[in-house]
Structure 1
């Protein structure tokens, strides 16, 4: 049986051009949208979502191309642009009755969240990012042997064909590699949840690759245009990251502050999948953010 977030209802909501997102919704109160990362689904928020649902309406979608959401074919490089995925998020919230909402994202979901906040500042009241850098900064700081940790970024940036073939030949080994490597506490992702992540990813290889490919091309263009124009995140922003910035030779907080003047940057002592390894810290930081 596929794991669920207890007490949450599940829906499929049309957001654009016939694309439907699968979404779990629970609780009541002011809305908070939670966006998952790679190689996961909305399930990564199961602990945080259940906690926040005591005071908030919590909305946990599978991003387009992931989980049980639709996986349209990428025909022009923009289908999985973060700008397109951000529009999905706003359309989803509005379909559920919310014109304004707080937004938190992890990994890939954080990149979507940042783009949502840049493109739709009137909709996003507060923003939280878990364990990434903004797309443009990520590519700027990766160089030399330290870039080996991001080999998958370069693999999936290649033209269509080879990445899909290589990953599709051994999807469980590929996606499982990251679930193992990026987790300090293996018990944080129990066997049934791990199996759900692997199954969902196995069924979404082309769309996951398209998501990453967009981040090496069109997403960079959008970020650079915003940076050149001086566009910034105008809402309160909280960033949680592992202590990897100094190890890789850059100041992660400074990079974020250039985008977010109202920034609370915190370092956490757990693995990449912090919403599963240390949900209490994530929930607490999100509550603090919502009071700003």
Structure 2
């Protein structure tokens, strides 16, 4: 499935890795990064709105997802957020953009966060949808409240078992999140597209999540120790799950982003699909 009216390309971003990307509109560039267990299609309505509002909208499938390449993990860094963020900067430059606004949801927001830290002169503004920085995410998950993140602990295990378990029933596994993380059912054809894409990407999706319990933590710890911050304006849109799990989401984000606008919203996790007009306003 494609975003109507958008041009599709495959763009080389690293040795042997090409990303599938949809491009539409004209004007100031903005890159939109999808989350788990989705593809670039999650932005379809937001992208269409932004493309008519004087923006060049760039919507890739992350490496390991959708129709983008899925390199085999070798040393733990192939799906690090640093590597995935470098993909996005390279992609934008290949399309003629030395600087751009960046928005990410869920896993894509972690890539966007890393891009903001590693490439502060490239990212002009950053919008984060419904996630915490990796270090803070692991810190707030404890006791019985950690059950909400059971999939993170599963996919953090060494290679072999997670892939085997998830691969044995991928539709049940990924469908659980597609059905339980939204306040409104996804359109049947979109849900089916996400399931097909995830079913065909179990090893790379697991590798992406495993990196967040390993190399991504190490990278974030080094930035924290060095006092590195997000230097661009940052907007964070989150559900009120901070209150439910007993932490101050705005405070956690404020420690990383001095120029922060934090908004608690009433939408479900898949907010770009539930409230595209509202999300587009935050991004335009």
TM-score (structure 2 length as normaliser): 0.99
* 1:126-153 Cα distance to aligned partner (Å, 9 max, x none): 0000000000100011100000000000
Partners in 1 of 2:220 and 2:208 — Cα distance? 15
RMSD: 0.5
What is the rounded CA distance, in whole Å, between the counterparts of 2:109 and 2:232 in structure 1? Answer: 15
Is 2:82 aligned against 1:56?
no
In structure 2, C-alpha distance between the alignment counterparts of 1:280 and 1:257, rounded to whole Å: 26
1:241 Cα deviation after fit: 0.2
Matching residue of 2:165:
166
Alignment of 1:213-224 (within 5 A): 213-224=210-221
- Residue aligning to 2:36: 38
Gaps of 5+ in 2: none
Secondary structure of the residue aligned to 1:247 is helix
In structure 2, what is the Cα distance between the partners aligned to 1:63 and 1:115? 14
CA distance in 2, matches of 1:5, 1:19: 22
- The answer to whether residue 267 in structure 2 is matched with residue 255 in structure 1 is no
Decide which of 162, 169, 188 is 1:191's aligned counterpart.
188
Q: 2:205 matched to 1:204?
A: no
User: In the aligned structure 2, how far is the partner of 1:49 from the partner of 1:75?
Assistant: 34
**Distance apart, 1:108 and its partner CA:** 0.2
Alignment correspondent of 1:265 = 262
The secondary structure found in structure 1 opposite 2:246 is coil
Deviates more, 1:169-178 or 1:278-287: 278-287
Instruction: Write out the 4+ residue segments of structure 1 that deviate beyond 2 Å after TM superposition.
Output: none
Match of 1:24 among 7, 22, 25: 22
Q: Indicate yes or no: 2:140 matched with 1:135.
A: no
Structure 1: how far apart are the matches of 2:21 and 2:33?
10
SS of 2:279's equivalent in the other structure is helix
Aligned pair partner of 1:237 in 220, 234, 239: 234
In the aligned structure 1, how far is the partner of 2:237 from the partner of 2:166? 30
Q: How many angstroms does 1:281 deviate by?
A: 1.6
Q: CA deviation at 1:270?
A: 1.2
- After TM superposition, give the deviation of residue 160 of structure 1 in Å: 0.2
Distance 1:76 1:106 in 2: 26
2:279 matched to 1:282?
A: yes
Structure 2 equivalent of residue 290 of structure 1: none
Superposed displacement of residue 163, structure 1:
0.1
SS of match in other structure, 1:192: helix
Matched, 1:246 2:229: no
Residues 148-201 of structure 1: CA distance to partner in whole angstroms, max 9, x if unpaired? Answer: 000000000000000000000000000000001101011xx2011111000000
- SS of the residue aligned with 2:267? coil
For 1:283 and 1:251, the matched residues in 2 are separated by: 25
